A and B are shown apart, each in its own frame.
Chain A
Amino acid sequence: MIFFIQRFGGLIGMVAVIAFFAISLPDTFLTVRNWLNIAQQISMLTVVAATMTVVMVMGDFDLSVGSMASLAGVVAASLFLQDWSIAGALAMALMVGLAGGLFNGFIVSVLGVLPFVATLATLTIFSGLAFFISDGRTIFGRDIPEAFGNFARSGPEIGTVAERALVLPNLVIVAFVVVFAVWVVLEQTSYGRRLYAIGGNREASKLAGIKVVQLRLTAFAFTGVGAAFAGLMYASRVASANPTQGDGLMLTAIAAVFLGMTLTRDGQPRVLATLAGVVVLGVLDNGLTQMRVDSYVREILVGAIILAAVGLSAIGKGSLLRGLR
């Protein structure tokens, strides 16, 4: 019984959440339009969580992704102010993400600082940089090129419902491409498999001749670039940039990876499971909003649900109930 809950509890929970909303919101929840809406809402989180998975596979994590997302948005917007081209500004912002990620990787892997401490510090640094560059203001309006803002709002039409066009948002397509890329890296290259080996048993990996230091360092680059990427998506979606707009992404992304881990057999992070975790969080947010649950109460509920999912899957693995095995 405990084994069953531990193995499939997460999946059952997810189905239950969707079923609950489908019954409570019969007219609006299970519609293509609503799901496209959810997909767009979660696209930024998807990118952050997918690239977060890369480091969590090794047993590390990165707290600085939220402020990196803010920083990247601010960097791009400031460069727009300097009349940079869209491509140039975006490339620069992504370079900032890469540099930040490598910096995290250097501190964690080469200097050997715990990821919690190291990325907590860089969280503050990146956030400070974002305020410094933007002077604490939101950059918006005519300063943002129209094409940049339009990108998030448009996308290919995939049909019509009730005489209104259904648009598959570009952001969703981008998110899918990122998930696919991370999936290939983690599941189909020896690079990714080495990362899993490090997460499974770092000492064994080292003894087997795996270059643990280099791999850990580079893995953080994925998370940095992913965070910057998500920051740009966010900036495009709201056609503006301010130094705090990405901050909420970090905790939710880590929560999504943890939720995903409850679905996998060995409790390992896997990127498709992470995607499922993101979807659950998106669905919860969407459904509870539609049911007009107060936003503060919504946070309490979402937190409790994450705790319940992770807690249930810990039963049988954890020590408290070990005697019952």
Chain B
Amino acid sequence: MKKLVVQKVSRRYGTVQALDGVSLTIEAGQVHALMGENGAGKSTLIRLLAGLERPDDGSIGLNGDTLLEADPAVMRQAGLRFIHQELHSIPGLSIAENMHLDHPYPTRLGLVDWKALSHAASQALERLDLAHLNPRATMTDLGLGDQMLVRIAATLISSEGAEPWLYVMDEPTAALTAQEADRLFAVIHELTKQGAGVLYVSHRMPEVMRMADCVTVLRDGHHISSRNLSDTNARTVIEDMTGRDLRHLFPPKSAIDPAAPAVLKVRDLEARPIRRANVDLQAGEILGVAGLAGSGRGELLRALIGAIPVQGGQILLDDKPAENTVAESWANGFAYVPRERRTEGLMLRRSISENIALPHLTDLARASIFLDQNRQRGLADKMGKDVLIKATSVKQQCNELSGGNQQKVLFGRALAGQPKVLLLDEPTRGVDIGAKFELYRLIKEMSDNGLAVIIASSDLPELLGLSHRIAIMRDGELAEITETDGLTEADLLARFYHQSAPQVAA
């Protein structure tokens, strides 16, 4: 029986110890779940297995032989295959051609042998019971789920090199609908039946409980536990995952006056993919938005800031209908911190002050026309102090800053216009714990000063620790709003699935 043994591997990036002496053993024929919160070290471990990086310490071995080289080709030769959540497929080419991206095309007389190409593809698809997929159809016609299945089937096309026996799947269901995920599970079952092993990386409890044979939990780069699923339960695993004492990470919540009028009223909002949302928000209140990936968490915020056209319903700010373009939303008192700070947020090669001033240029300009560098810098200096940006000066380029400080620049931008409603999409993703702490203080301070805050996040402790109430999104619908007091992560997770109707592709 083939076996991959990871022994005491460590990996450090700068000052961050991403992995610290982690060991685990993955056997053929088994689904081995790897769980942990964001930043637990799952991705680092995958990069080591993929041969993209070398461990600082420790070893990775196959059947007793050590695989030392940090070389993707060696890992491939060892039979490892990686299925990433971001699918790398070529939309315009056929399924069969996509399956041959990393295999040579069969040829005859130097020309592509289309028949042999389709035949090889359909044979591989059949091995996984995917005969319903036509290898000649273009990839564009497939949903994300089927595209993933095609990628998996592609690994079965025989080529020189070792047969694949271990599949590493990184959050494979993150963008899939429920039915697509079911088809993926069937394929995983088929793979293990044929003797392959799967390292299944996820933080979704129900999937893991359903499929895995054993589960390893990482936390803050440490190996916490490896258990057979028959000896454990969801509760134990969640405790292992979240074990750190979170009481001090979050500032105490302030009470809100229940009689205070609502700043923001959302009435039957419809903005595809948001199907319906109703919520009232008071000054000083922090509302969390939770839900599975694809449930419309971030899209709700995008609809409120005007980045998705509204098809129906109303957004009322101080009882006045809010206009629906992004520019008008900023002017009316909304502020938005997008999820992808590098692509949606910052102009990375521009200075901190330019980044902060961006939505406020007209207000800062003389006679609303001529740019005033001094006023921009003055604003940036002030905001930089308020949000505790660590930089040499506000003239520093944003790509020289750490993730946490980049996020603070976006906070500075959002808060500079003295907004009434602050919209935060995954505000602490990829941010170190120290900056997280400061951002949480900042959010709490602003809300104490009367700012209404909406936070969409996949980080459950964060939602529970910060928000007064949590809105749960299901399939594009704001399904329920619940008080946070007394709520646990498990309760929240259960509500994600509760009454979850068959999902519609977002």
Contact = CB atoms under 8 A, between A and B. Distances in A.
B107 A190 contact: yes
Contact of B93 (A196, A209, A322): A196
Contact of B89 (A199, A201, A323): A201
Contacts of B308: 323
A193 B92 contact: no
B101 A268 contact: no
B101 to A, nearest CB: 4
B445 to A, nearest CB: 37
Contacts of A266: 91-92, 138, 140
Contacts of A199: 92
A174 interface: no
B112 A196 contact: no
B105 A204 contact: no
B299 interface: no
A288 interface: no
A300 interface: no
Interface in A202-231: 203-205, 207-210
Given A266-B92, A323-B309, A205 B101 contact: yes
A201 B88 contact: yes
B328 interface: no
B434 interface: no
A96 B92 CA distance: 34
Nearest to B102: A208
B111 A200 contact: no
Contacts of B112: 188-190, 193
B408 to A, nearest CB: 30
B89 A204 contact: yes
Contacts of B89: 201, 204
A265 interface: yes
A253 interface: no
A190 B93 CA distance: 12
A27 to B, nearest CB: 43
B97 interface: yes
B105 A193 contact: yes
Nearest to B111: A188
Interface residues of A, number: 22
Given A189-B110, A193-B112, A323-B309, A200 B104 contact: no
A317 B465 CA distance: 41
Interface string B259-276: 000000000000010000
B47 to A, nearest CB: 13
A197 interface: yes
Interface string B77-118: 000000000001111110001000110110100111000000
A293 interface: no
A201 B111 contact: no
Contacts of B311: 323
A266 B92 CA distance: 6
Interface in A277-325: 322-323
A188 B93 CA distance: 13
B271 to A, nearest CB: 9
A200 B91 CA distance: 6
A323 B102 CA distance: 37
Interface in B118-170: 138, 140
A190 B101 contact: no
Interface in A171-211: 184, 188-190, 193, 196-197, 199-201, 203-205, 207-210
A44 B3 CA distance: 63
B102 A200 contact: no
B92 A268 contact: yes
B91 A201 contact: yes
Interface string B357-388: 00000000000000000000000000000000
A197 B111 contact: no
A274 to B, nearest CB: 15
B91 A190 contact: no
Contacts of A184: 111
Contacts of B101: 197, 204-205, 208, 210
Contacts of A200: 90-93
A99 to B, nearest CB: 25
Contacts of B102: 208-210
A196 B93 CA distance: 8
20 contacts: A184-B111, A189-B107, A190-B104, A190-B105, A190-B107, A193-B93, A193-B105, A196-B90, A197-B93, A199-B92, A200-B90, A203-B88, A204-B88, A204-B89, A205-B101, A207-B88, A208-B102, A210-B101, A266-B92, A323-B272
Interface of A: 184, 188-190, 193, 196-197, 199-201, 203-205, 207-210, 265-266, 268, 322-323
8 residue pairs, one from A and one from B, having the closest CB atoms:
A204-B88, A200-B90, A323-B309, A208-B101, A190-B105, A266-B92, A208-B102, A188-B111
Interface of B: 88-93, 97, 101-102, 104-105, 107, 110-112, 138, 140, 272, 308-309, 311
